[in-house]
A = this chain, B = another copy of it.
Amino acid sequence: MSVSKNQSTIFPKGEPAPADYFVGKAWVKFLVQSDDTFNTSIGNVVFEPGARNNWHKHGGGQILIVTDGEGYYQEKGKPIQIIRKGDVIKILPGVKHWHGASRDHEMTHIAVNTNTQKGIVEWLEQVTDEEYNALK
């Protein structure tokens, strides 16, 4: 049986990610909008190679579930970590961080924002090319 790459995609790509908060091309599909019952928002994000979001923080924390490809995750003051399909990343409230694709691969993750009653996201400055390319 032959299965092409696109057929294995779980969600449609969605909308282009806002250029104010991303470097490079990424796509966001909102799955769950936050409300007072679930206190949770969920989105699917596809990053093309080299794309990443800005430095940012979550008031209520965030959990990333990598569903395809290979990417990078970095918390301020720590080295870049490589993340891959099947990895789950727990990001504590208030921790400054960014995530994105690796240089040579797309990366898709489901982002679960938890405890949204405590704040969803605070966007900060871009991840520079120097920061992004710091992984040797």
Contacts and interface: CB of A to CB of B under 8 A. Distances in A.
Interface of A: 1-5, 8, 10-12, 31-32, 37-40, 42, 61, 63, 65, 67-68, 85-86, 88, 90, 92-93, 110, 112, 114-115
Contacts of A114: 38-40, 114
Q: Name A's interface SS.
A: loop
A97 to B, nearest CB: 15
Contact of A40 (B4, B12, B110, B112): B112
Nearest to A3: B3
A82 B115 CA distance: 30
B115 A38 contact: yes
- With a 10 A CB-CB cut-off, give which of A5, A38, A90 has the most chain B CB atoms: A38
Contacts of A32: 63, 88, 90
